[in-house]
Amino acid sequence: MFDCFYPDEIQESTYGINFDTLYKEGYRGLIFDIDNTLVPHGAPADSRAIALFTHLKEMGYQCCLLSNNQIDRVEMFNRDVQVHFIENAHKPSIKNYLAAMERMGTDRSNTIFIGDQLFTDVWGAKRAGIRNILVKPIHPKEEIQIVLKRYLEKIVLFFYNRKVGK
């Protein structure tokens, strides 16, 4: 019933994902949500995010930020990481997932999406045919519309965990 919202994988944090292994598996493009995936909501890129993107680019990954935020927010974060980005993405619409892959020169078979929300990030990635990794939100302080969605996410994740036997 909720399968369209089930993530392909769940990790505690973006910073705990083994990107070296994913690269060895043939993945070359990484699409990231920003808020509560890489930094707390509204925060600039911190030293951990800067180090992550430096490492990813050195490995050979192409990276793109895909955010429903406006350009000022996305540019502020991207100032220190310097990757492709698409603002006002209208996730879960697939249009900008596809545009992100085009900018990176990747395709569905070698791209992964990393985000913290089921109904925008994961659902959009699944609709676009991209492997996805759901990460737990970095910080509990969120906008009210996201707080409300988190209650619905708990229901979906309950059924997901039953299905995968957790």
Rounded Cα distance between 3 and 1, Å, is 6
Model confidence at 101: pLDDT above 80? yes
Rounded Cα distance between 62 and 84, Å, is 8
Model confidence at 143: pLDDT above 70? no
Q: What is the dihedral of CA 59, 51, 8, 158, to 10 degrees?
A: 170
Model confidence at 148: pLDDT above 80? no
Mean pLDDT of 77-106: 97
Nearest to 5 by CA among 162, 110, 159, 135: 159
Rounded Cα distance between 52 and 47, Å, is 9
Please tell me the pTM assigned to this model. 0.90
Distance of CA 118 to CAs 23, 43, 92, 106, 121, Å?
Answer: 24, 21, 9, 23, 6
Least confident of 4-18, 129-143, 150-164: 150-164
User: What pLDDT is attached to residue 105?
Assistant: 98
pLDDT category at 144 given cuts 50, 70, 90 is: low
Looking at this protein, which amino acid is placed at residue 14?
Answer: T
Mean pLDDT of 22-28: 98
User: What pLDDT is attached to residue 147?
Assistant: 65
